[in-house]
Structure formats: C-alpha cells, structure tokens
C-alpha cells in the first residue's frame, strides 16, 4: 500500500511553532507583519491570497494585502514594493503572480529587499542559497524538504529526480536535495525518456505542472513521490502531476494534491516571516545596545 504523506498535519505543527514565536515577538514589541503585493482581479489568485492572509492572522502575524489592480504598470508595482521594503514594520514580502502582461516579473522580483524576501523570489536570494550563504529559499522547495524529513526519509546517497527546472521550484529543490547529500537528476521539457530517468530514482519530485504526467511506468517499487504540481480545473478541482490511482501500491509514499506540498508551503511562508521579524528585532536590539555603549559615561 502507498502511504499518504499528510502535508496538512505537518503544516499544523509548523504553524503552532510559528504562532508561539510570533507571540513572543509581539510581546517584545515587534509583531511580525507580512505584505502581499497583488496586481490581478483573478478569482483563484484572490482566493489564494485571502487564504494566506487568514492563515497569517490565525498565526498571530499581521498581513496587509496591497492590490494595485490588474491595470497596474511596472512603476505602480515597483512603487508598492519599495513602500513595503522601506516600512520597518513589514518583515516579509510576497509578490503574487500572475502579474499584468508586460510588467516584467523578473525585473520586479529584483526590487524585493532580500532581507524580507520570504519566498526567495529575488535572484539574489537564489544566488545566495546556491552559494550556501544565508537566504530564504523559495517556500515550496523548503516544503519538499520538510515533507521528506517529516516522513523520515534519509537522503544521503539516494538518487532523487526533480521533474521541472524553474527557478522558483525545480532549481532550488534540486539544490536543497544536493545539500542534503542526495544525488540529483533534473529533468525538463527537453528530457528524453523521462520514465527511464524517474524509474531509476528512490525519490521523485514532480514539478512540471502537467496533470497525471507521472504514472506507474515512471515509478520504481517503493519510490517516494512528492507531488508539487497544482493545475486548477474549470470545475474547481486541483490536479497534481502524479496519477495517484496509477501509482497506488507501487509507490512507497505519495503527497496528495491537495493536502500535500501546498499547506506546508503556506505554513513555511509564515515561518519565514517570523524568522525575518526575529532577525530584525535582534538587529535592532544589538544596534540599541551599541548606541548605549558609545554614549559618554555620566560624570
Ligand atoms: P514552470 O512552468 O515555470 O516550470 C515547469 C517546468 O516543468 C519547466 O522546467 C519544464 O521544462 C518542465 N516540464 C514541463 N513539461 C515537462 C515534461 N513533459 N517533462 C518533463 N519536464 C517538463 O512551473 P513552476 O512554477 O515551476 O510550477 C510547477 C508546478 O508546481 C505547477 O503546477 C505549479 O502550479 C506548482 N506549484 C505548486 C506550489 C505549491 O505550493 N504546491 C508552488 C509553486 C508551484
């Protein structure tokens, strides 16, 4: 039987720890705050952003959603990002996609202050991550790692295949798996014979956004499948990249869609916000004590 890796349960435990840390910071006068910049009226995006905001508030994190509208220009979005960069009360920033056509998401991501870049969107964050310097990894990549850890999967020496090479999911996930001592193969649209690659893996991370891409013939007996894919259907369902009925009994474990990577990703965005607030608070405290140290002694 294929075990289901329960992301919702892991998300609850991350949120409990995050909530405890948030209340300590609030009591010290530094309530964590998240800002989400949105430039669309798209209903599924609005639903997703409302769920992040609700989750944040339930965890004791303030959340401002700044919707600059679907007609926003690059300058409008840049302005909104600069305002939250400069706001000392904001500790985490999400630039929600999709952005209006022609606004240049790549350029706008570079505007996010890396210290507040809690979803690792700025290329500086990815560069620092790959250079093993402190940085926020994209929350989805961290969610993959957290789910594997939660399930007790030892990665050392294992062969992991990541299907997808986007800079928000595939590339950072491949890097984190490598850092955890797995041997990693990255597959993409141009990969020939995907099934032969994935069948050779003990761990498969599917992040292509193609519903049902991974079927029984792609999976070795007992392999662990982390399904990142989420494709929304017109009737409101969410489909993963793994054909779950087809791999049942063959895969050792599988994350469901929904209820796998998604809730853990959201929980980690909140955890990152609290970590950023904590770093901000520690810096303020150090600066204040340094300032006191240079005050002339009283005569
Ligand atoms: P993307 O479109 O930027 O990248 C898709 C990648 O898949 C590309 O590198 C492409 O080369 C590869 N690919 C496409 N078809 C393929 C095929 N037939 N064989 C092998 N590789 C193939 O998408 P993304 O932003 O990386 O997102 C991937 C999926 O993950 C989407 O379904 C997205 O909705 C989902 N996602 C989920 C979460 C979450 O929290 N659960 C977060 C982010 C993204």
Residue 118, pLDDT score? 98
* CA 264 to ligand 1 centroid distance, Å: 17
Res. 294 pLDDT band, cuts 50 70 90: low
The model's pLDDT over 37-89, given as tens digits with 9 standing for 90+, comes to 999 998 889 989 999 999 999 999 999 999 999 999 999 999 999 999 999 99
pLDDT band at 201; cut points 50, 70, 90:
very high
**Reported pTM:** 0.95
Which residues is 92 bridged to in the sheet? 34
Predicted confidence band at 280 (pLDDT cuts at 50, 70, 90)? very high
Sign, CA torsion 222/255/163/185: negative
Whether residue 12 is predicted with pLDDT greater than 80 in this model: the reply is yes
Output the CA angle 176-180-186, nearest 5 degrees: 50
What is the whole-number distance in angstroms between the Cα of residue 203 and the centre of ligand 1?
17
Q: What is the pLDDT of residue 254?
A: 98
pLDDT bin (cut points 50, 70, 90) of residue 26 is very high
As a whole number of angstroms, the distance between CA 121 and CA 110 comes to: 8
Q: What's the pLDDT band for 298 if we cut at 50, 70, 90? A: very low
Nearest atom of ligand 1 to the alpha carbon of 209: 32
| Arithmetic mean of pLDDT, 87-106 | 95
Ligand 1 centroid–CA 120 distance in Å is 17
Nearest protein Cα to ligand 1, atom 30: 229
CA 86 to ligand 1 center in whole angstroms: 33
CA 42 – ligand 1 centroid, Å: 20
297 pLDDT higher than 80:
no
- Which residue has the least CA distance to atom 5 on ligand 1? 208
179: pLDDT strictly greater than 90: yes
If one compares 252 and 285, the residue with the highest pLDDT of the two is 252
163 lines ligand 1 (CB under 6 A): yes
Task: Determine the pLDDT at residue 295.
Answer: 53
- Confidence at 125, pLDDT banded by 50, 70, 90: very high
The CA 229 to ligand 1 mean position distance, Å, reads: 6
* pLDDT beyond 50 at 299: no
Q: How confident is the model at residue 291 (pLDDT cuts 50, 70, 90)?
A: low
Question: Mean per-residue pLDDT for 198-209?
Answer: 98
Using CA of residue 171, residue 12, residue 49, residue 60, what is the dihedral sign?
negative
Please give the mean pLDDT across all residues of the chain.
95
> What pLDDT band is residue 292 in, cutting at 50, 70 and 90?
low
Distance from the alpha carbon of residue 209 to the mean position of ligand 1, in angstroms: 4
- What is the bridge-based pairing of β-strands 231-232 and 62-67? unpaired
Share of the chain above pLDDT 70, in %: 97
- Counting ligand 1 atoms within 8 A of each CB, the residue from 138, 209, 232 with the most, and so the one to mutate, is 209
Q: What is the pLDDT of residue 188?
A: 98
State the Cα–Cα distance between residues 291 and 297, nearest whole angstrom: 12
Pocket of ligand 1, candidates 190, 207, 214, 215: which has the most ligand atoms within 8 Å of its Cβ, to mutate?
207
Identify the residue whose C-alpha is closest to ligand 1 atom 1.
166
**What pLDDT, on a 0 to 100 scale, did the predictor assign at position 236?**
86
Strand, coil or helix: 94: strand
265 lines ligand 1 (CB under 6 A): yes
Q: In the 8-state DSSP scheme, what is residue 260?
A: S
* Distance in angstroms (rounded) separating the CA atoms of residues 266 and 5: 16
The tokens describing 288, both together, are 């204040």
């Amino acid at each position: 039987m294929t075990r289901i890796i329960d992301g919702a349960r892991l998300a609850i435990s991350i949120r409990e720890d995050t909530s405890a840390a948030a209340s300590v910071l609030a009591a010290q006068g530094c309530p964590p705050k998240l800002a989400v910049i949105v430039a669309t009226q798209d209903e599924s995006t609005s639903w997703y952003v409302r769920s992040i905001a609700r989750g944040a508030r339930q965890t004791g994190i303030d959340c401002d959603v700044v919707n600059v509208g679907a007609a926003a220009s690059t300058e409008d979005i840049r302005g909104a990002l600069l305002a939250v960069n400069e706001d000392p009360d904001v500790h985490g920033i999400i630039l929600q996609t999709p952005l209006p056509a022609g606004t240049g998401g790549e350029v706008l991501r570079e505007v996010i202050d890396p210290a507040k870049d809690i979803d690792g969107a700025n290329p500086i964050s990815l560069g620092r991550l790959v250079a093993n310097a402190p940085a926020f990894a994209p929350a989805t990549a961290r969610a993959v790692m957290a789910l594997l850890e939660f399930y007790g999967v030892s990665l050392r020496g294992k062969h992991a295949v990541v299907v997808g090479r986007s800079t928000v999911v595939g590339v950072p996930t491949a890097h984190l798996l490598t850092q955890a001592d797995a041997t990693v193969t990255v597959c993409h649209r141009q990969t020939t014979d995907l099934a032969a690659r994935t069948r050779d893996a003990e761990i498969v991370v599917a992040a292509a956004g193609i519903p049902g891409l991974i079927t029984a013939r792609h999976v070795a007996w007992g392999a662990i499948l982390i399904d990142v894919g989420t494709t929304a259907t017109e009737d409101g369902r969410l489909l993963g990249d793994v054909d779950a009925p087809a791999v049942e009994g063959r895969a050792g474990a599988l994350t469901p869609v929904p209820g796998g990577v998604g809730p853990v990703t959201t929980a980690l965005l909140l955890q990152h916000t609290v970590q950023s607030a904590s770093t901000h608070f520690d810096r303020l405290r150090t600066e204040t004590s340094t300032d006191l140290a240079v005050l002339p002694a009283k005569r």
